[in-house]
Structure 1
Amino acid sequence: MGSVRRRRALTALAAGGLVAALALAGCGSNDDAGSTASAPMSDAGGNGADAQKAAEGAPQAPQEQAQAQGGAGGVELAVDQRQIIYTGSITIRVENVERTAAEVTSMATGAGGFVGGDKRTDDGGRSEAVLTLRVPASRFTAMVDDIADKGTDDRRSISTEDVTEDVVDLDARITTQQARVASARRLLAQAKTINDLVTLENELGKREADLASLEGKKRRLDDLTALSTITVTLLGPDAQAPAPPKSDDTGFLAGLRGGWHAFTATVGVMLTVLGALVPWLVLAGLGLLVFGYVRRLRRGRPAVALAGPGLPAARVAPPTVPTQPAPADEPAREEKA
């Protein structure tokens, strides 16, 4: 009995050792497979990073770039990050137009701007001056208030235009167009025939022209957003204030008023032309009356030949009376007789 129990114990130990050995072998194979599988994943991850870098370096579409820079569908930009065009006009009445114009000019140049236009009329108390100032956008509001303090503020108008989306769209289009120009240049360098060379040169010229146009629009927007425009009108004490700008009315009533003004203007022009033609028409009518009267006198008077001195009087032939031709049977009657 003791020997049988000992054999069973040895058999159980042997089976346990075999199971442990098999388990260790399975774990080793799984580790090898895991390490083998992890290598391609790391390679794939590396390739993915390279692909992502390449994609980041590639030009983005306009919509994607707009979202990346906070356009429609993206994160809203703060007010100081948006591209806004400020435009203002102010009319003030001052005691001395020339002195105030010089002060306003110094204010604009001191703020980092410049004078884009200067029109002045020196007429004593009726003097006027119109200045067009370009000042930094950050100084726009303060500059308008400082100018208003120089005299009596008669009229003020301020308008803004948000061009953030236009700027984002232009930036994206410029990036895309630059990539297209670079691609055309690479293809041009690889051209092998004359036809390919001419075709690629024409295409490159078109792409460069489009790129130059986009860059010009971008520079224009950058200028308008960087420097705001202020139109300052200075009036003397006795100068007449300019008429307010007319509102841009639309609709049926606006069209009716415009049509009536055009009709009255046309009638006025026609009456003016008619008044200029009346003297000529009267003169022409008098000429026709005189010509008709003279013609009737010539028809009613008999034709008389005047004899000159030393010449016999011309004889006037009597009027001839037309006679009827003889009938056709007259010769036959004469033969019978």
Structure 2
Amino acid sequence: MVNKENHQITEPEKVGTRKTRKKPWKIRLKQWGIWKVGLLAIGIILVFIIFMSIITSLFSGTAGVSDSLGTSNEAVSKSDQALPGETSSTSGVADSGFQFDVTKIIYSGNISLYVDDFQSTFEKIAAYTLAQEGFVQDASSSTTEINQNSVPNSGYLTIRVPAAKFTEAMKEIQSYGTPISSSINSTNISQQYQDVQGQLDNLKIEEARLQDYLNQAETTSDLLLIETELNRVRTEIDNRTTMIKNWDNEINYSTIVVSLSEKAIGTSTVESPFSGLIQKISQSFIASINVILTGLAMLIVLMVRLIPFAAVLGFGYLIYRQIKKKKS
């Protein structure tokens, strides 16, 4: 291109191809505006708060888990033991190296069943108990005539089964009907057992010593005094011996109380399926309303929890729009 004044040839200017220098950050902040800078600051604060919350929750969760594991390991080593017939994964040794005795545990269970035929199930449970080398300790039943309008047949059995077959018996008996409820209880009497056994051993030693004194007594007064003390010691020995025998019986044979209720409806009466229909409808309607309200409450809580994330995403979207606008 020729310049008329200076008669010099100059290169044509290329529009849109000249590289512009980057502006300082202060000038760019002024061009953004105060509200954009404020949004940027708020976004940075929100991201920092969320990041710190996550870090805090992770560290606190790890500490809580470690504390709970330390406590639970000690508790498991002392109390949590496998049921008879099951394999235990714990050794029963606490962290301090203390050997906790779990050799003397009494197991008991309770089972409630709905059955189709009360009498046959009653007899089936009794036969199963005998087949497991156990026995029926107590039993009671209440049966009615078919033509009588009364409550369904019901009753209970208190059975004793070998401790090694306790878990198997609990599962087997529950398969004889529809379970209503079931529970298992275990009592560790190892420490009490050891204490009583130690007292019994000491009393036997004292009995032998008194017997020697009795053989060496020379006067009647000494003889009477030693015999009185010997009778007292022998009475204590009998009491503790009986206590240990009862404990051995309960340890070796677990107790299961089985309650039976017949589901069959008497054939002599007609029970209308429409009885209490209005009450059932009202209860169903109220239950549906409660479900809807619960869902709304959960939705509101979820929306409130998502507000910080929505703010961060919105702020990120604004920044993306600004960057895209400047590039274009």
TM (normalized to structure 2)?
A: 0.48
- The structure with more radius of gyration: 1
Higher relative helix content = 1
TM (normalized to structure 1)?
A: 0.47
